[in-house]
Amino acid sequence: MSPSPPPESAAHPWAGKIAQRDLVAAADPDLALDLTVLTAPEQLPGHLAARSGTVVLRPEFSDDLGSAVLCRAGAPLPERETADLWARGTRLVAHDHVAGVPHFAGGRVTGGRLELTDRWQCFCLDEGPFAYLTSVINVPPDAPTVRGLADRLQPVVEAAGLRAGPVTFELVLGERTCKVVKFAPRAGGEPLPTLARELAGYGAGFLADYSFITRRPGRLVRIRHLDTIQALGSYAGVLEAPAPGDEVVQRSIEGGPLTVLLRNRDEAALRADIARCQELNRAGVFELST
């Protein structure tokens, strides 16, 4: 999702992931991630050896989107990717992978009170040390996963001293889980504002984007399976697409070079089309020349 937000270090005093975890923990310990702070690369192998599952690594400050690296149990250490994280600063934060589903939630604070205006469930494509964010779908406010979410997040708003203005949250939600990955006193980044406007015009129903990733850079020869994508019952057009001859590059783990709009009155049908897109994405849709 782009464009990138302002640099965390310049946005607000608790923007860094360590300061933000401390603020969330003070507001409600159950909402906070259990972070370990690593100050040198030599600490990482020992930390991973002491864990039994997947560990998520992020730089303390990240000016772009999609900075997480996954160190999976039993897999080799992703040395190049972790070196890239260390190049961004002097400290990394690590936490065990949290069972649940990533979500975004956006809203406004008025008189110190949080009101959520939109909620989005995320879909990811797990490959190697990354979980590529490929899609978001709107979640109705009365859905069980988000019912009462504004009240649950209100202590964070109060602890941050937010009195008025937009706010956005990145969360992991489960049957008994609600964890704040990060939050910021601003509107969500693209494509969330575009999707929210599309949804408002669409009325009652469900809407999503879907992004296809590339695993290597190159010049586009053609997009495979394009007829299949356009024949989906939920297909509603292209949001972003390269033309033949364009350079195709994966610039982030959020989004991709080809993004389409999906919408459907039937939630199950839309989710089935997202699942079909995931299958095509795993197979690869970009035919590239070197």
What confidence score (pLDDT) does residue 158 get?
A: 97
Percent of the chain with pLDDT over 70: 95
**Which helix H or strand E contains 199, and what residues bound it?**
helix 192-202
For residue range 106-117, what is the model confidence (pLDDT) as tens digits? 999 999 999 999
Cα torsion angle, 258, 263, 267, 268, sign: negative
Residue 11 is predicted with a pLDDT of 57
In CATH, the number for domain 34-96 is 3.30.1490.20
Q: What global pTM score does this model have?
A: 0.92
pLDDT, residue 64, reads 54
What digits encode the pLDDT tens for the residues 165-182?
999 999 999 988 999 999
**Which residue type sits at 128?**
G
Q: What percent of the chain is modeled with pLDDT above 90?
A: 85
125-149 in b/e form (b: 16+ CB < 10 A) is: beeebbbbbbbbbbbeeeeebbeeb
CA distance 93 to 37: 5
Q: How confident is the model at residue 227 (pLDDT cuts 50, 70, 90)?
A: very high
DSSP state of 187: P
Q: What's the DSSP call for residue 243?
A: P
Six-digit token pair at 106? 């956006």
Q: What is the largest CA-CA distance in the chain?
A: 56
Strand order from edge to edge, sheet including 286-289: 247-248, 218-223, 286-289
Considering only residues 69 and 65, tell me which one the structure prediction assigns the higher pLDDT.
69
Domain boundaries, the chain: 34-96, 101-282
For the cut 50, the answer to whether the pLDDT of residue 186 exceeds it is yes
Look at residue 109 and give its three-state secondary structure.
Answer: strand
What number is the average pLDDT over the span 131-139? 97
Grade residue 148 by pLDDT with cuts at 50, 70 and 90.
Answer: very high
64-73, 84-93, 127-136, 145-154: lowest mean pLDDT where?
64-73
Q: How many CB atoms lie within 10 A of CB 122?
A: 18
**Above 60 in pLDDT, residue 196?**
yes
According to CATH, the topology of domain 101-282 is D-amino Acid Aminotransferase; Chain A, domain 1 (3.30.470)
Tokens of 225: 């399976």
